[in-house]
Structure 1
């Protein structure tokens, strides 16, 4: 009896052993991030812009907050070039293990209209969370007669193509926002692209260029020092730090609205649990009063939200700028 029972059980034990060995082999073959709690080592945050600019400042703020909340360093890796495309492509093509993230700005939605990208800006990424939102600010040299948007339009009509505007690089959000204003006002100016915010601001301060659509973070100290004149902000609401400066829409171009935002993305195929953890952590610290106060000093507000909301914004804005480019009003020289 016992011998028969043992014989009958033998195939069962063999099957159990084989299944156990298969399970172990699959576990051994699984990537490291599937077996360990994330994050278990430092996380790289690619910033596709130069150090010291508005995007870099926000990235370092977010990295500090994430590191404190999750117990691992979040290390900034500045990779500027091609309007932010070089660093963004590197981030998009990294391993989708949660250890390489990319901070993007609103220029991310402009670039597909003017550059041939090496990745799909919608399909090849994992949206994580929007961090901030606010306007660009139009600034001019204090020695110019341009004090308002109406002044700008009148001067441009008097001297078609003779006024010029600076940008921190062709194909970025400042370029797109300026061209949208020129299109709506039906005026012409000459585009002078620079390699970064600092030289664009410096030449506007020097009077070499007439106007510049700057990030608030970069322009605010120069405005307070009297080296630049604030003309208007590009979003639909005024800045808390400069409440006297009107919006473009208030200044004679109703409907004009170009927000400047930052967000966190990762490569396509990131583990959903990692995306959820990042999203929840960022949303949690953005709700803290000190976080919004910090961002307000840089001229933006805390936003947060879901990955789906960020994806919707990217898709919507890519479509908007493609329409402007298709009309022939916006290109990289």
Structure 2
């Protein structure tokens, strides 16, 4: 009935060992997260190698490699309108070793596709790294130099002016149709396979207007063959201080800039997500990185994860409103 001292000590010892073991198990995930990363990290991008998106991702990966002491590899998984890379990351183990560095097509797919193969809830937003302003360019000889003059010309010559975009359902296409609706005009849409493909027709005058990234047009404006009418951006760009935003031109609802940002699988431990966010914000704040982002025609962002999540939610509403109003669908 009564326990001997040795029995009590034995039971106490076993209890201590059990508690220690359980404590070790409970602490293991935190310890593993603190040690992250302990092996190479892979960043998937949804665009082809060699483009501005690839360049930006490699700028970030280079700095992460130096800081984390593990190789951070950028891998292109282009195709299916950014869906291939996006779904691959959504299905990856949520351990932080596979990240998605994507652009605002991530949101546009959600409002363009009747049954998107992924949803926002599949991801943990990390940080918006840069804003990708979208420019409206015009043939140098088009008799309009401002957004108001473009609208006036379109009213005077209905159905005679076309605008090119870098694809059906692209940001340029959506903004162009949104401007049509908001201004009560009819600029005819001509989709191209990329902004570079539209450029020869813009220069020749086959189309009067074209949408594209400011990074692309920053190297074209100096030729004197094209001019910038407006930019979709939260504010005027340092590279083009005299070019107003769509909001300044009287059309705030179509002032929708693109972006580049990082996301992780939804179930990634918060400590790892926070580590990514802190690292990206540190990198974007570096003067040399800001200079390179501006050279690409982008604007540095470096948001918190909460700010990025709010931006994604807002974009779904704003892009979605234009898509629904104009019945835009992916072909």
Q: How does the TM-score come out when normalised to structure 2?
A: 0.86
Cα offset, 1:256, TM superposition: 4.7
Tell me how far apart the structure 2 counterparts of residues 12 and 172 of structure 1 sit (CA, whole Å): 68
What are structure 2's unaligned runs of at least 5 residues? Answer: none
Q: CA deviation at 1:324?
A: 2.1
The CA deviation string for residues 133-156 of structure 1, in whole angstroms up to 9 with x for no partner, is 252111123344443323432343
Contact 1:53 1:197 in 2 (8 A): no
In 1, the alpha carbon distance for the partners of 2:159 and 2:31 equals 56
Verify the 8 A CA contact 2:33 2:272 in the aligned structure 1: no
Question: What secondary structure does 1:327 align onto?
Answer: helix
**C-alpha contact (below 8 Å) 2:175/2:254 kept by paired residues:** no
Aligned ranges for residues 101-180 of structure 1 at < 5 Å? 101-115=99-113, 116-121=115-120, 123-180=121-178
**Count of residue correspondences:** 327
Q: Where do 5+ consecutive residues of structure 1 fail to align?
A: none
Q: Distance in 1 between matches of 2:180 and 2:275?
A: 43
For the residue of structure 1 that corresponds to 2:186, the secondary structure is: coil
8 Å contact 1:54–1:218 — kept in the other structure?
Answer: no
Equivalent-residue separation in structure 1 for 2:123 and 2:52 (angstroms): 23
Q: Displacement, 1:124?
A: 0.7
After superposition, residues 246-257 of structure 1 pair within 5 angstroms as 246-253=244-251, 256-257=254-255
Matched with 1:234 is: 232
1:169–1:95 distance in 2 versus 1, CA, 3 Å: farther
Structure 2 CA distance for partners of 1:268 and 1:231, relative to 1, 3 Å: same
Question: Aligned in 2, Cα 1:219/1:304: closer, same or farther, shift over 3 Å?
Answer: same
TM-score using structure 1 length: 0.86
Give the conservation status (yes or no) of the 8 Å contact 1:83–1:172: no
Alignment partner, residue 66 of structure 2: 68
- 1:146-194: CA deviations, max 9, x gaps? 4332343234334434432222222222222222222211112232223
Taking the aligned partners of 2:319 and 2:228, their CA distance within structure 1 comes to 25
Q: What is the match of residue 6 of structure 2? A: 6
CA RMSD of aligned residues (A): 2.8
C-alpha distance in structure 2 between counterparts of 1:254 and 1:284, whole Å:
31
Seen in structure 2, the aligned counterparts of structure 1 residues 84 and 159 have a Cα distance that, compared at 3 Å, is farther
Q: Is the 8 A contact 1:201 1:219 kept in 2?
A: no
Query: In 2 relative to 1, CA 326–193 (structure 1 residues): closer, same or farther, beyond 3 Å?
Result: same
Deviations 1:199-232 (A, max 9, x none): 2334434444332221111221112233432121
Distance 1:127 1:192, change over 3 A: same
Give distance in 1, aligned partners of 2:202 and 2:93: 41
